[in-house]
């Protein structure tokens, strides 16, 4: 059954519906694959074998009776360890939540269960989603399946690497400043950050509440449309959840781009961009032109301030959100605290890693008396200017195209000692979060070392359908029959 791990959701769904394979056989094939290659990639933090087999049995019963069958029935998925899963530990890759077992499911998990999807396990990430390389995990770094000496991206590195390594059919991640799109680009898979409010954040452990969104990692654009449809929609338990109707996103997957206006931001094609990345992106845009799209130049003048604004807004919100981890109600508690204040200090000093501490301190400083107006208020004003830039750009175009990251995946350890260089990994993705826009990465080529490159596409609010239409046609031009990483040798890669 080894060929099963090569198939996307939409092809597996046909086989399951025809009863040519069973959900049990499919899950067993993926568990065997995990056992074979995950010791190399290290995408999983927690493997839920027994639960997966129980869910497979439930899926087979549904498929047999025809009741409660959906596009994800029997499909094995991986879940980023920042999404709450009832009775399965959710660590956020942090020592402070090492033994935390949520008593409830996130809304996205409820929606996946309603369709009869199977959860294989929880996936590695940068601690509390703070990072661009998955080196900030408290447990171990995840490795890029294309080259095991390189990072898979972050913070959803386990989610991207597991799809590329074919240790799950698809996965869920979260995106606060590029944490879906950047690892998707580095691992050669499709990754989509929905419009802010499109997918419920209930049960997503908060990093920066005005920026966080859950989204899918998939092997192709069709699967992305299927998984997004399953998790999207209004949720009364999330006050930022939009009542906007959720369309059938697969209906947008049609051939041809006649009438589509593609904007190229002049600010995104400047110094510091790896030549092979720029070449692959421009080649993809040329494919879009050949399919009928019109390319126009647009300006996003305030995007140069996006990284600076983000690293005020996001740490400020993180400082507030992470104040709940104090050793009192749940999570890690330091021993030998002589009084309450000392227990707080020791718990947070021992429980949080260096990057999380760095961002908490940055955020606390930015929110402190005398500095709030100079930092947080100013960053919020810049955020408004960035949003206005996009509004003007979308008067002239329908989608904006550019690179996802300045380079392909860098080597493990290469930037871990230089936080500023690490932060610049998200220079092209952060603005979409600040503006609340939908954005995705679709594979568009490889560099000279065989490392994947993604094309970054952004659209106006709640226009995920338009994004998927454009990405689908890029995929048609580039081809979906591209090779997957070969992990069969003694060292993989």
So which residues are the catalytic ones? 80, 155, 179
Q: Is residue 103 classed exposed, middle or buried when 0-12, 13-18 and 19+ CB atoms within 10 A define those classes? A: exposed
**Alpha carbons 123 and 111: distance in angstroms, whole number:** 19
Three-class SS state of 77 = strand
Residue among 375, 392, 398, 384 nearest 473 (CA): 398
**Alpha carbons 138 and 164: distance in angstroms, whole number:** 23
Alpha helices (H) along 168-274: 181-187, 221-231
DSSP 150: B
**Alpha carbons 314 and 303: distance in angstroms, whole number:** 16
204 forms beta bridges with 83
**Alpha carbons 377 and 278: distance in angstroms, whole number:** 35
**Alpha carbons 177 and 141: distance in angstroms, whole number:** 20
Residues near 264 by Cβ (< 8 Å), separated by ≥ 6?
285, 295, 296, 297, 298, 400, 401, 402
The number of CA neighbours under 13 Å toward the Cβ of 226 is 24
Residues near 250 by Cβ (< 8 Å), separated by ≥ 6?
222, 225, 226, 229
Pairing of strands 399-403, 452-459: antiparallel
Q: Are 321 and 209 in contact (CB under 8 A)?
A: yes
Three-class SS state of 44 = strand
CA distances for 17 relative to 10, 70, 269, 343, angstroms: 11, 10, 46, 56
Residue 254 structure tokens: 């049609």
Alpha helices (H) along 322-458: 340-351, 354-367, 378-396, 419-423, 430-435
Pairing of strands 399-403, 439-446: unpaired
């Amino acid at each position: 059954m080894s060929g099963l791990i090569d198939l996307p959701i939409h092809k597996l769904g046909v086989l399951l519906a025809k009863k040519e394979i069973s959900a049990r056989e499919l899950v067993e094939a993926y568990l065997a694959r995990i056992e074979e290659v995950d010791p190399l990639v290290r995408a999983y933090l927690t493997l839920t074998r027994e639960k997966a087999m129980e869910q497979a049995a439930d899926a087979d019963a549904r498929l047999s009776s025809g009741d409660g069958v959906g596009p994800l029935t029997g499909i094995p998925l991986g879940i980023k360890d920042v999404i709450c899963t009832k009775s399965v530990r959710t660590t956020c890759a942090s020592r402070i939540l090492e033994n935390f077992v949520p008593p409830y499911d996130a809304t996205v998990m409820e929606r996946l269960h309603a369709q009869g999807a199977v959860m294989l396990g929880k996936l590695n990430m940068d601690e509390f989603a703070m990072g661009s390389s998955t080196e900030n995990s408290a447990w171990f770094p995840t490795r890029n399946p294309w080259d095991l000496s390189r990072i898979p991206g972050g913070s959803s590195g386990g989610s991207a690497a597991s799809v590329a390594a074919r240790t799950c059919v698809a996965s869920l991640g979260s995106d606060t400043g590029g944490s879906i799109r950047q690892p998707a680009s580095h691992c050669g898979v499709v990754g989509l950050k929905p419009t802010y409010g499109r997918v419920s954040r209930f049960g997503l452990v908060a990093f920066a509440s005005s920026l966080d969104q859950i989204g899918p990692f998939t092997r192709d654009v069709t699967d992305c449309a299927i998984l997004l449809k399953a998790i999207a929609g209004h949720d009364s338990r999330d006050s930022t959840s939009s009542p906007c109707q959720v369309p059938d996103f697969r209906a947008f997957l049609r051939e041809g781009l006649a009438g589509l206006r593609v904007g190229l931001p002049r600010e995104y094609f400047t110094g510091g961009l790896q030549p092979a990345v720029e070449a692959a992106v421009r080649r993809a845009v040329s494919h879009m032109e050949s399919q009928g799209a019109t390319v126009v130049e647009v300006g996003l003048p305030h995007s140069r301030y996006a990284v600076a604004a983000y690293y005020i807004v996001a740490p400020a919100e993180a400082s507030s959100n992470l104040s709940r981890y104090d050793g009192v109600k749940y999570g890690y508690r330091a021993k030998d605290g002589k009084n309450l204040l000392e227990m707080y200090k020791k718990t947070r000093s021992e429980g949080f890693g260096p990057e999380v501490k760095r961002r908490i301190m940055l955020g606390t400083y930015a929110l402190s008396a005398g500095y709030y107006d100079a930092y947080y208020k100013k960053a919020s004003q810049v955020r408004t200017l960035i949003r206005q830039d996009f509004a003007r750009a979308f008067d002239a175009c329908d989608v904006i195209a550019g690179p996802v990251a300045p380079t392909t995946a860098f080597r493990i350890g290469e930037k871990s000692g230089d936080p500023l260089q690490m932060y610049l990994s998200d220079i092209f993705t952060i603005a979409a979060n600040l503006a609340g826009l939908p954005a995705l990465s679709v594979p568009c080529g490889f560099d000279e070392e065989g490392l994947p490159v993604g094309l970054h596409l952004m659209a106006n609010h709640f226009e995920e359908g338009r994004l998927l239409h454009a990405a689908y046609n890029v995929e048609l031009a580039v081809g979906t029959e591209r090779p997957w990483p070969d992990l069969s040798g003694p060292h993989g890669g």
